[in-house]
Amino acid sequence: MKQLVDLHLHSTASDGQYTPAELMTKVKEAGITRCALTDHDTIAGVQEARVACESLGIEFVAGIEISTKEDVEQHILGYNIDETNEELIASCEFFKNERTKRAKKIYQYLHDNGVDLELGSVERIAGSDNLGRPHFAQAMYEQGYVSNVREAFDKYLATPEFEKNNFRKYCTYKEAIELIHKAGGIAVLAHPGSTKKKSLEQMAKRIEELVGYGLDGIECYYSTHDREQTLFYLNQAELYDLEVTIGSDYHGEKIKPHIELGHTKEYMFDTNYWENKND
C-alpha cells in the first residue's frame, strides 16, 4: 500500500516551531502516515515524537540532521538511528555546547550590525536552549528590524559577511557519516540543491566524495528543488545505487512560512519508499 511520507521535520528540540508531540499531531492532520524527526544535531525530541506517533498510528523513523562544514556547510541526515548509542549521545552534547557558543556569537554579531535584540527574547521563541538562526530571525521580525523572516536571512544571517565568521566547530563529512553508521543508521545527503555556491557539476563531485565515505542516500525530493535538480539527483542516486528520500524540511509557519508539511512542490507524491526499511 502506498503511503504519504515526509522524512525531514524539525521540532522545538532544535529550531522548529512545535514540540515533537505537537508536530506529530500536525503530521497526522496532514495525512502523512510515515515520518522522521530530524532535528539539527540533537536526538532530544526523538522519544517524545515516537510515543506520539504510536498513539496516532503514524509509522515513525528516528532521525537527526548533522551539520558539517569543510569548504561549505553541508547537512547529513541520519535515519533509523539508535538514540541510546553512547557515542551519538556524547556527540549531540558536544553539538549542543557548540550551538550555545554560536548563539552568543550570533547575538554579538547582530549587535555589532545594529540589531539590538535581547537574548532572552530569542530564548523565549526557541523554547529551549538550542538556539538557531531561525529563532534570531523570528525575534528580528517581531521587534521590527525586518519585514519578514526571509529578510532576516537575506540581510543578516546568510550573507557572505556572516558566513565568514567561524561561529562553531563542525563535524567533517566523513565524521558525520561514520557517526550515523555507528548509531546503526543510514546516512543521507540533505537538500543538495540548497548547497551554496555549488553547481550541479560540483555537487556531482561532492556526491562522489561522500559515497567514498559511505553515503547511503540522497534527499532527491525536497521542497525547494526544481525539476532539473530533482532529476539530476535522482540520476546521481541511480549512478551510485543510493537510497532516494523525500522531505519537506518543515519547521513551522512562523519559522519557514514557505515550507508546508509533506510539500515538495509539484513532486509531492504517494510512495511506498521505506517499505521494510523501518522494521
Which stretch of 41-55, 155-169, 173-187 has the lowest confidence by average pLDDT?
155-169
Which stretch of 126-135, 167-176, 190-199 has the lowest confidence by average pLDDT?
126-135
Q: Is the pLDDT of residue 54 over 50?
A: yes
- pLDDT computed for residue 115 by the predictor: 95
Cα 159 to the center of its chain, rounded Å: 20
User: Residue ranges of the domains in the chain?
Assistant: 1-279
Going by CATH, does the domain composed of 1-279 fall within 3.20.20.140?
yes
Q: Which of 117-121, 139-143, 155-159, 234-238 has the highest mean pLDDT?
A: 234-238
Q: What is the pLDDT of residues 65-79, one digit of tens each?
A: 999 988 888 999 999
Residue 68: count of CB within 10 angstroms of its CB: 19
**Cβ(43)–Cβ(37) under 8 Å?**
no
- pLDDT computed for residue 164 by the predictor: 77
Which stretch of 4-18, 83-97, 157-171, 259-273 has the lowest confidence by average pLDDT?
259-273
- pLDDT computed for residue 266 by the predictor: 45
SS3 64: strand
Mean pLDDT value across the chain: 89
Q: Is the pLDDT of residue 225 over 50?
A: yes
- Looking only at Cα atoms, what is the longest distance across the chain? 55
Angle between helices 86-112 and 133-142 (to 10 degrees): 40
Angle at CA of residue 222, ends 6 and 242, nearest 5°? 85
